[in-house]
Structure 1
Amino acid sequence: MTPRPRTAQSLESRRSRGTQSYHCRVCRGIHPLRKCKRFRKLSAEKRLRAVLINKYCSNCLAHQHSEGTCRSQDGCKKCGGSHHTLLHMHEERPPQRTPQPTASPSRPSRNPVQPARSHPRHSARSASRTSSPIRVAIERPRLEVSAPARSVATLVRQKTVHILPTAIVVVDSGSCTFETAAMIDPCMAVSSIDRSLTAAFRLPFTNLGDDEVCSATLRSRTGNFKLEVVLKLDPSLKIRTPIRALSDATRAKFGDIRLADEQFHRPATISLVLVADVFAKLIQPGCLKLEDGLPVAQSTVFGWTVSGAVLES
């Protein structure tokens, strides 16, 4: 049997290695990630999540190297940033100002009105009225109202404590797990984490334009829930809630439900915020209002969160 030429063997081995390197980690097909139909149908946020979770390079979408060793000089074709065009986020355009209509001869001008020239007859009449010796002066009594020492708003603020919804979550970095408090806030757009917390948890992060993002897996302490999230690194994300400690009597009101944060009534600093991009996956049906003057409890995958205003004497 005639042996194959060495060049043919090396070519075949290179082809086999190239085929293996193009094994898509999103759909398990044999193609580069940039040609994956399932990947291209995703939104920009989900594409970024897939890139981080599957450890692709966010600059060229390759998986043989990290972004620190990427030699590709091609940036985003839409904004020029150091990320692939398929990972470009849509920018929010600033609201356009409505042009002001120009002044026309038929409409009054916006210029200040010049005082009209007084007619001699009108001037004589006004002079005669001014020189009249009869003057009627009507003095209105002045009502002096002394300002209260404390306004109603001040009294309410002194007795009211606002609580933000927090939950103790398990952060899985892939090599180890940590427990930390997270705030659930649907009013923000992008979930964020403090940079110092990222370093403490040893979460891998990458650059996406001017921002730094990392990926992690969130788990529940009691159930089987887990969620892959992409978090934006914030240099100073420290939220204090509540401002002051609540009484044990207020805490005892919520003793019959499984709380997501058993110490919600004690002041703590929150450095992880889960917001609108994952809010729908965290909230469960169920809202509990015990009585007036107490916060409400909301059911989540981590347990019941407590939020709202507390009126304490």
Structure 2
Amino acid sequence: MNNSSIDNIILATAKVWVRDSSGNYKLGTALLDSCSQVNFITDEFSQKLRLSRSKQYIEIQGIVIGFELPLTFCITTHIAYQPDPEIDISSWNIPGNTTLADEEFHVPGKVDLLLGTETFSSLLSVVQIKLGTNLPILQKTLLGWVVSGRYQTTNNSIKPSCLLTANESLDARLE
């Protein structure tokens, strides 16, 4: 068995409260994506919020700090990111005084929202904590501390992946 180190990447996630059509809040998991030009919401979560299918602003709130952001989302069937399998963080020494934006960032689970570049940038603070050699960083945001970046593991079952969504063109569908 080969026990060489494997580099893995954790993407920044946060638990957020999202206002539904009745003004109540539902808890969702958001992926913070500095490369997306738009915000996305899964069709399943959109239906859970009972949102109409038109241009509409949705307010989200962080769990940690009481602030709201009105955002517009594009609906998609799936947002493809989850750590798989569960990441062992027992030796990472995450400081006890940091409130994580997603306490379950290391546990496989589905993502409900993708917050794009404009939202991502407005959430960032200047403070970072490096957890150690070959470990990710903690980045302070308005949603709490997010964990992201490269880490190493000796577990051969974890394979790096590339996530890609391709949509057929309308021409191809009509043919």
TM class, shorter-chain normalised? Answer: 0.7 to 0.9
2:9 pairs, out of 158, 162, 168, with 162
Whether the 8 Å CA contact 1:299–1:305 is kept in 2: the answer is: yes
5+ long unaligned stretches in structure 1:
1-149, 207-212
Specify the code of the residue in structure 2 equivalent to 1:223: I
Residue-by-residue CA offset, 1:218-239 (whole Å, 9 max, x unaligned) = 01223221010000111x2232
**Secondary structure, in 3 states, of the residue corresponding to 1:249?**
coil
**Secondary structure, in 3 states, of the residue corresponding to 1:239?**
coil
1:121-136 pair list within 5 angstroms: none
CA–CA distance in 2 between the matches of 1:307 and 1:250?
16
1:232 pairs, out of 74, 87, 90, with 74
5+ long unaligned stretches in structure 2:
155-175
2:31 pairs, out of 183, 188, 192, with 183
Residue-by-residue CA offset, 1:181-238 (whole Å, 9 max, x unaligned) = 10111111001111121011112231xxxxxx4421001223221010000111x223
CA–CA distance in 1 between the matches of 2:106 and 2:98?
15
1:286 pairs, out of 110, 127, 131, with 127
CA–CA distance in 2 between the matches of 1:251 and 1:168?
21
Specify the code of the residue in structure 1 equivalent to 2:111: I
Give RMSD over aligned pairs.
Answer: 2.2
Residue of structure 2 in register with 1:215 after alignment? 57
Residue of structure 1 in register with 2:112 after alignment? 271
C-alpha deviation, 1:267, in angstroms: 1.4
CA–CA distance in 2 between the matches of 1:248 and 1:179?
24
CA–CA distance in 2 between the matches of 1:252 and 1:245?
17
Per the alignment, do residues 195 and 174 of structure 1 end up closer, same or farther by CA in structure 2, a change over 3 Å counting?
closer
Whether the 8 Å CA contact 1:164–1:306 is kept in 2: the answer is: yes
Whether the 8 Å CA contact 1:239–1:271 is kept in 2: the answer is: no
CA–CA distance in 1 between the matches of 2:15 and 2:68?
13
CA–CA distance in 2 between the matches of 1:230 and 1:200?
17
1:25-40 pair list within 5 angstroms: none
Q: Which structure shows the higher helix fraction?
A: 1
**Secondary structure, in 3 states, of the residue corresponding to 1:306?**
strand
Specify the code of the residue in structure 1 equivalent to 2:132: E
Whether the 8 Å CA contact 1:161–1:310 is kept in 2: the answer is: yes
Whether the 8 Å CA contact 1:168–1:181 is kept in 2: the answer is: yes
Whether the 8 Å CA contact 1:293–1:311 is kept in 2: the answer is: yes
CA–CA distance in 1 between the matches of 2:145 and 2:84?
21
Larger Rg: 1
Per the alignment, do residues 214 and 220 of structure 1 end up closer, same or farther by CA in structure 2, a change over 3 Å counting?
same
Whether the 8 Å CA contact 1:166–1:183 is kept in 2: the answer is: yes
Whether the 8 Å CA contact 1:163–1:308 is kept in 2: the answer is: yes
1:60-209 pair list within 5 angstroms: 155-156=4-5, 159-175=6-22, 176-206=24-54
Higher relative contact order (CA 8 A, sep 6+): 2
Aligned residues: 153
CA–CA distance in 2 between the matches of 1:299 and 1:284?
5
Whether the 8 Å CA contact 1:188–1:275 is kept in 2: the answer is: yes
Whether the 8 Å CA contact 2:30–2:111 is kept in 1: the answer is: yes
Identity %: 26
Per the alignment, do residues 264 and 255 of structure 1 end up closer, same or farther by CA in structure 2, a change over 3 Å counting?
farther
CA–CA distance in 2 between the matches of 1:238 and 1:265?
17
Whether the 8 Å CA contact 2:42–2:112 is kept in 1: the answer is: yes
Whether the 8 Å CA contact 2:42–2:78 is kept in 1: the answer is: yes
